[in-house]
Amino acid sequence: MNLQVTARFLNVKAVPAALLTALVCISVTTGLCWLSLQVSKENLKRRLQETVYQHHASLQNELEHEESRLESFVSLYYISPNFNRYAFHSFAKVENQPWLVAKLFSKRVSPDKFNHFEQAVKVDTSVDTQGYPDFYIIDKVAHQDALVALYMEPRQELRDTLGLNLEKWFPSGSKRMRESAQPLSFMLNNKHPILKGNNIVISIPVYDTSLPLTNQAQRKTAFQGAFSTVISIDKLIHHLFDSANLKMNSVTLSGTGIDDEKIQIRLPSGPRTDIRHKPYIEEFNFQLPLSVPGKKWSVNYDIQTYDGLAETNILWLITLIGTLFTAFATGFIYLTVRTGKIAHRLAYDMTSALQISEESLLETQRLAKMGSFQLSPSHQLSAQTGNLHDLFYLDPEIRIDYLLQLLLHMDAEDALKFTQVISTALTTVLHTHQVVRIESETPGWLNLIVDSSETQTGFTLRVIAMDVTDKYQSEQKIKQLAYQDALTGLANRTSLRHATERALRHSHIYHSKLAVFFLDLDRFKFINDSVGHDIGDQVLIEIARRLKNSVKEHDFVARLGGDEFVILVEHLPKDNDVHTIADHILALICAPMNIGKHTYYLTTSIGIAIASNGAPDVDELMKQADMAMYQSKEKGKNKYTIFSIDIAQALEQRTNLELEMRVAMKEKRFLPYFQPQFDVRTHQMTGVETLLRWRHDKRGMIAAKDFIAIAEESGLIIDIGNQILVEVCQLIPTWNLPEKFVVGVNVSSLQFFQAGFVDFVIKSINDAGIPPSRIEIEVTETMIMQDINIAKTCLEQLHAFGVGVSIDDFGTGYASLTYLREFPVQRIKIDQRFVKGHTKNHKDMAIVKAIATLGHDFGMEVIAEGVETELQLISLENIGCDLYQGWLRSTALPAQAIQSLLPPIECDIRASPLA
**66 vs 882 pLDDT, higher one:** 882
pLDDT tens-place string over residues 648-662: 888 888 888 888 999
C-alpha–C-alpha distance, residues 801 and 758, integer Å: 10
C-alpha–C-alpha distance, residues 778 and 796, integer Å: 14
Res 553: pLDDT: 80
- 330-339, 604-613, 746-755: range with lowest mean pLDDT: 330-339
The per-residue pLDDT of the chain, averaged, comes to 83
Nearest Cα residue to 200 out of 64, 58, 52, 53: 64
Q: For the sheet containing 248-256, what is the strand order?
A: 262-267, 248-256, 295-305, 282-292
Q: Are 568 and 583 in contact (CB under 8 A)?
A: no
For the segment 705-710, the average pLDDT, to the nearest whole number, is: 88
C-alpha–C-alpha distance, residues 799 and 805, integer Å: 7
Task: Kindly tell me if the per-residue pLDDT of 541 is higher than 90.
Answer: yes
pLDDT tens-place string over residues 721-733: 999 999 999 999 9
For the segment 254-274, the average pLDDT, to the nearest whole number, is: 73
Res 672: pLDDT: 95
Task: Kindly tell me if the per-residue pLDDT of 671 is higher than 90.
Answer: yes
The dihedral sign for the CA sequence 375, 376, 379, 382? negative
Angle formed by the axes of helices 312-338 and 342-367, nearest 10°: 170
Res 680: pLDDT: 93
Res 71: pLDDT: 82
**43 vs 230 pLDDT, higher one:** 230
Helix spans in 574-634 (H)? 577-590, 618-634
Res 93: pLDDT: 65
pLDDT band at 584 (very low <50, low <70, confident <90, very high): very high
pLDDT band at 345 (very low <50, low <70, confident <90, very high): low
Res 62: pLDDT: 82
Task: Kindly tell me if the per-residue pLDDT of 691 is higher than 90.
Answer: yes
Strands 670-679, 685-696: pairing kind = antiparallel
Kindly state the percentage of the chain with pLDDT values over 90. 29
pLDDT band at 913 (very low <50, low <70, confident <90, very high): very low
- 142-151, 318-327, 565-574, 811-820: range with lowest mean pLDDT: 811-820
pLDDT tens-place string over residues 174-187: 888 888 888 888 88
pLDDT tens-place string over residues 1-22: 444 444 454 455 567 777 777 7
For the segment 741-745, the average pLDDT, to the nearest whole number, is: 95
Longest dimension (CA), the chain: 170
- 167-181, 272-286, 674-688, 817-831: range with lowest mean pLDDT: 272-286
For the segment 598-610, the average pLDDT, to the nearest whole number, is: 92
Task: Kindly tell me if the per-residue pLDDT of 518 is higher than 90.
Answer: yes
- 193-207, 353-367, 578-592, 652-666: range with lowest mean pLDDT: 353-367
C-alpha–C-alpha distance, residues 415 and 436, integer Å: 8
Strands 556-561, 513-522: pairing kind = unpaired
pLDDT band at 370 (very low <50, low <70, confident <90, very high): confident
For the segment 516-545, the average pLDDT, to the nearest whole number, is: 90
For the segment 856-863, the average pLDDT, to the nearest whole number, is: 91
For the segment 64-86, the average pLDDT, to the nearest whole number, is: 78
Task: Kindly tell me if the per-residue pLDDT of 359 is higher than 60.
Answer: no
Task: Kindly tell me if the per-residue pLDDT of 420 is higher than 60.
Answer: yes
Res 732: pLDDT: 93
Task: Kindly tell me if the per-residue pLDDT of 220 is higher than 50.
Answer: yes
End-to-end CA distance of the chain: 170
- 257-261, 447-451, 564-568, 590-594: range with lowest mean pLDDT: 257-261
The model's pTM: 0.47
